[in-house]
Amino acid sequence: MPLSRWLVPVLAVLFVPLWASGFIAGKIATGYLDVPAVLVWRFAIALAVMLVAAAVLRPARPEGRAWLHLAVTALLLQIGQFSFVYTGLASGVPAGLSSLILGMAPLLVGLLTPLLLATRLGIAPVAGLLIGAGGVYVVRAGDLGGGLGWAVVLPVLGMLSLTAGTLYQKRFNDRTPVVTSVVVQMATSLVATLVAWPFLGADWLPSGTGGWLAVGWLGIVNSAGAFVLMFLLLRWRSTVFVSSLLNLVPATTALCAVPVLGEPLTPQALLGLAIALVGMFVGLGRLPGRRRPLADPDDDAADAPGVPATPR
């Protein structure tokens, strides 16, 4: 396709920083708002954007149990993941470390897929997971993760929620139109957060302009915009291609956090990031000398484990 020949590289270059920006904006937002309020505004803004998209595209509605499956996925991927991640950010966990830990979810998905989804798995994902875990340890042992105590467990729980939600999405929601899936999940997440609101004691509104800008970025750019790019790339390429881009997110987040958030980036942290990236590439079979043609996005072989199939 002549259009995608030049458009795909452009979208790929834009996709990585937009996806990584969610950790930066999340860190800023939790400085102005309580975590429940960050969630409410993220879900509300993203839902408004996706409702406009649904009005234009008119995707098919879920039928029968599909509604329930989408709701369960929302509780795992949206409520579970972001509640833990944002609470960790608010408790002092650096954005770079949070991104690195959540960046291991694709490998964990690959490791669990043959057990839960009856899909064959080679040795590469197992080796990649172990290498990536070593990278997380190196980063955690340096200044980037020092002195966090219990708070470092929060992004780990967020990563587990992301993994569980991804597996559930792959198992039950594969045939649901993307826009429909996003709308239902955002609506479910918003309702669940509002129901719990009386018990959370959080303030509604950001305390300054920076808070509004942060939640606006999370809702429009990170929740909606980054996923528009992701879905276009999945249509024109494959999940393997998108997986390769997701491997770059942890390092991008850590580098951007230096000037934006003032987070330290020590040589030890850089080494840990490099090790984790190697582990992710190994786990996804993207080693030099083992190149293979990118599969068609509609091919079952292209839908290999390793890419979260729902929005972040």
Task: Tell me the pLDDT of the chain (312 aa) as tens digits.
Answer: 455 577 888 888 898 899 889 989 999 999 898 999 999 999 999 999 999 999 999 999 988 899 999 999 999 989 999 999 999 999 888 887 888 888 777 777 767 777 776 666 567 767 776 787 777 677 656 544 456 678 889 999 999 998 898 888 878 887 888 888 889 999 999 999 999 988 887 777 877 788 899 999 999 988 888 867 876 776 677 555 676 677 677 778 878 888 888 877 778 768 877 887 787 677 666 555 554 444 444 444 444 444 444 444
Q: Distance between CA atoms of 111 and 292, rounded to whole angstroms?
A: 21
Query: Which pLDDT does position 157 carry in this prediction?
Result: 94
Query: Which pLDDT does position 299 carry in this prediction?
Result: 43
Query: Which pLDDT does position 3 carry in this prediction?
Result: 54
Query: Which pLDDT does position 58 carry in this prediction?
Result: 92
Query: Which pLDDT does position 284 carry in this prediction?
Result: 61
Query: Which pLDDT does position 274 carry in this prediction?
Result: 83
Query: Which pLDDT does position 286 carry in this prediction?
Result: 57
Where in the chain are the domains? 2-302
